[in-house]
């Protein structure tokens, strides 16, 4: 459901809400998910992002987002130069995907503390985005509400650990999705919540046995 400022707004750098504003958000959310400053980024563009991306500044917009810019940042057109200054080494190329949304980007990032993450996201119109894969595992979230993402080894007990932690700190779960590549393999929990998940609780999760990494979107900055 859209509010009036989705109709009159957003304030954004042109030319396209899907190919420019949405692309900035994709870059931005990738940075947030990584949880640290990215220093290497490999950006794959698919579909219309690849065929009309250059003319829409999609490439510059994605890099701007990776640098932490928002869609109304007037420095977006200069993002390549700014990335060089900031020490972000990036490459952009076309990719082929199966059954992906026409405006899709797959970004593989490495952070300055060596964290790595692969994020596949698409721009679904009006500047809104959807994250469709994390580290190759299919997920589905928008980042518009607080979202806790736990990457763990698929073994019993992790879901209970996370949900009881949430109950203790009175965070209400809005939606919860579980994904895995195979039984006993790599699993991802995506939990959208009504309240913020406190930072110390996220740290605590990260130190649990079998938890590979924890990422978090606060839902406000996007």
Partner 1 sequence: MSFQALEDILTVCDEEKILFWEAVLREDMNDRLVSREDSISKMKEMWYAMFHASRHYDASLKSSSGLVGGTGGQMDLYRQREEPICGDFVAEVMAEALKMGESNACMKRIVAAPTAGACGVIPAVLVPLYKRGQVTEEQVIEALYVTAGIGQVIAERAFIAGATGGCQAEIGSASSMAAGALVYLKGGSNAAIAQGSAMALKNLLGLVCDPVAGLVEVPCVKRNVIGAVNALSSADMALAGIESRIPPDQVIDAMKEIGTKMHVSLRETGEGGVANTPTAQLVRERLEKNGD
Q: Which residues bind partner 1 (CB under 8 A)?
A: 1-18, 20-21, 48, 51-52, 54-57, 60, 72, 74, 76-77, 93-94, 125-127
Q: In the complex, what is the shortest distance from the CB of residue 156 to partner 1, in angstroms, rounded to a whole number?
A: 41
Q: In the complex, what is the shortest distance from the CB of residue 98 to partner 1, in angstroms, rounded to a whole number?
A: 20
Residue 163 carries which DSSP code?
Answer: H
Nearer to partner 1, 75 or 116 (CB): 75
Nearer to partner 1, 163 or 196 (CB): 196
Nearer to partner 1, 7 or 160 (CB): 7
Give me the DSSP letters along 168-182: HTTPPEEEEEEEESS
Q: In the complex, what is the shortest distance from the CB of residue 77 to partner 1, in angstroms, rounded to a whole number?
A: 5
Q: How far apart are CA 25 and CA 54, in angstroms?
A: 17
Q: In the complex, what is the shortest distance from the CB of residue 169 to partner 1, in angstroms, rounded to a whole number?
A: 23
- Helix axes of 58-66 and 79-86: crossing angle, nearest 10 degrees: 30
Q: How far apart are CA 214 and CA 146, in angstroms?
A: 13
Nearer to partner 1, 12 or 109 (CB): 12
Strand order in the sheet with 147-153: 173-180, 186-193, 147-153, 211-217
């Amino acid at each position: 459901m859209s509010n009036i400022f989705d109709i009159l707004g957003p304030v954004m750098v042109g030319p396209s809400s899907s190919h420019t504003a949405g692309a900035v958000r994709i870059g931005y959310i990738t940075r947030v998910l990584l949880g640290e400053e990215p220093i290497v980024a490999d950006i794959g563009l698919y579909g219309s992002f690849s065929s009309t991306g250059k003319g829409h500044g999609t490439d510059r917009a994605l890099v701007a987002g990776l640098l932490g810019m928002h869609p109304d940042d007037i420095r977006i057109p200069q993002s390549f130069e700014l990335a060089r200054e900031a020490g972000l080494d990036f490459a952009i190329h076309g990719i082929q995907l199966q059954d992906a949304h026409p405006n899709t980007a797959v970004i593989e990032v490495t952070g300055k503390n060596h964290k790595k993450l692969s994020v596949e996201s698409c721009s679904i119109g009006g500047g809104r985005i959807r994250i469709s894969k994390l580290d190759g595992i299919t997920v589905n979230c928008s980042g518009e509400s607080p979202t806790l993402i736990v990457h763990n080894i698929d073994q019993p007990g992790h879901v209970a650990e996370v949900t009881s932690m949430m109950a203790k700190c009175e965070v209400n779960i809005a939606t919860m999705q579980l994904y895995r590549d195979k039984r006993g393999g790599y699993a991802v929990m995506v939990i959208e919540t009504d309240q913020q998940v406190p930072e110390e609780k996220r740290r605590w999760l990260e130190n649990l046995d079998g938890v590979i990494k924890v990422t978090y979107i606060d839902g406000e900055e996007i």
